[in-house]
Structures are given as structure tokens and as C-alpha cells.
Amino acid sequence: MTQPDGVAAAVSSLRSMPRFWNREPPLVQWLDELPRLVAQACTAWGLEPDGGARHGSNALAVPVHRGGEQFILRLAPPGDDVAAEARALTFWDGRGTVRLFEADLPRRITLLERLSDVSLDSVPLDEAATVMGELMRRLAVPAPPDVPGTDEIARHRATELPGEWDRLGRVVGEHFLRAALTAAEVCGQTEASTAVDGDLHGAQVHRATREPWLVFDPGLLRGDACYDLARVLWTRVDEMDDAAAMHRHADRVIAAAGLEVERAHAWIVYRSFDYLLWGLAHGLTEDPPRCVRLLEAFARA
């Protein structure tokens, strides 16, 4: 069986990611089996290694080729919904996203269009904001009726936020909770039924050949395109000096995506508060303070 270069080193590095700190048996077993899984997939799909393996926070990515075509072989850990990812990629079919060529769903292995290593997080904020807004607009085509709705998510989470805030020791002022619940009322009512990437941020947008920029690992939702605008902001908020800079960046994305300003701001407040609580509950240390900065900039007492 063909064994691409650097898999063992990449797996060793992947073990250090927070996802694997608890050393849960299914994850440890998956990490141990990764070299074999890579080799089997290469044999099954007629692939040859084409560079060193690498990884993000969760998955292993191996550059491969078949004939004259270059791909990425992606292997995801137990717990990841690769079937949903495959459905999202099949739905968008290359419209702003990578193309899916092969899928072994039981083993959570996919063969994807090759992208460059240059992510949108590496370009200046103004350029990144415009690209992100244009991608939001490009992905906003009529969505399947059976995928989760952004309004449904907001309504459900609104019922959980007060209890979580209380259990976490009321980590921020109550006025932020009230602002988040008010925002969730807005987000919980929408007439939009277009497709939305529910996991959109610069690290998952890379330079490509077929189009200037393409998204990988999308999450298919239905509803408001501004659902993940807060994540677009908090992933780069450390580069923004003050509230005015945050508003300028948000406004640039909003304009490029053709979003309604007040509605977009409501999503920023609700999602920032939601992720603040989620991050604290899961032991995150960097993102929660970033979410607080966004709340301070966008939430009204």
C-alpha cells in the first residue's frame, strides 16, 4: 500500500491539538490507525502522494494526485459529521466551495479539490472582509428545506442561555445577557430561506485555481447569511484596535454580502454571547475574551 510522506510526523503533531487532549479511546485509536487509513484510501482510489501531510485542529490532510489531477485526501476523527459535510459540498457543487470527488463516509474520508496553503486569514483585513462578504453572497442560493434553520437555532439557544450564564458564574454583566436575548428574538424570526455556511471563517477559506478563493469544510444551514458574521470578526478581532475598527470591518463584510445592517448586528451580539458561554464551558481561553470585546462594541445596554 502507498504511504504518503510525512504522515507519521503529521499524526504526531495532530495529537497535540486540544481536540485530543482528553485522550478519549475512540480518538486515540483513530490517531493510531491514521497511517493505515491513509495508505488504504490511496490504494482504493488509485492515488499517489504529492507532498507532505498536514493538519488543522481536527483533521489530517494529505496532498495526492491521480493522473494529472491534484487533490487533498482528508481524514476526519470520530464524532465529525462527514456525511453532513459531504452533503454540503455536493449541494454547492463547487459554487464558492471545494469540489468533492470521492467519499468513504463510514471511515470519514473524503477526496477534495486541492487548494493552496494561503488562507484568507493571511491577507489584510479590508481585502479579507470584501472576499468574505462576496462568498456569503455567492453561497446564498435557495437551500434544501430539510436542513437546520438559523432561526430555529437562535430560538432554541435563547431558552438555554440564561441557565448557562448563571451556571458559569454570571461571567459577564446581565446587560449582555439581555442584549443577547433581544438579539436572539430578531435572529429567531426570518423570511430568508437561502443556504448558509454555518462554520465560515478565514482559516477555512483558501486561495484556489478554479476561483480566487474557495471554502472547505462548510456546514449547510438555511436562513440568514449573516449567521456566522460574529465568527468572521472574533477570529481576527485581535487585529482591530477598538470598537470603531470592529464596526468598520463588519460594515465592509455587510456591504459586500448585501446584508441588512441591524439584522447583521443582532447576529453578532447573539452569536458572540452564545460562543462566549460555549467557549468557557469547554475550557477555551483565547476566544471568550474576543467575544467579550465584540459584545462591548455591538451590544447596547
Distances (CA, A) of 261 to 11, 76, 265: 43, 36, 6
What is the sign, positive or negative, of the torsion defined by CA atoms of 238, 244, 250, 256?
negative
Kindly write down the DSSP assignment for every residue of 136-198, as one continuous string.
Answer: HHHH-SBPPTTSPBHHHHHHHHHHHHHHHHHHTT--S-HHHHHHHHHHHHHHT-----EEEET
Count CB neighbours of 54 within 10 A.
17
**Of 141, 60, 153, the residue nearest 107 (C-alpha):** 60
Q: Which residues carry out catalysis?
A: 199
> What is the rounded CA–CA span in Å between residue 232 and residue 229?
5
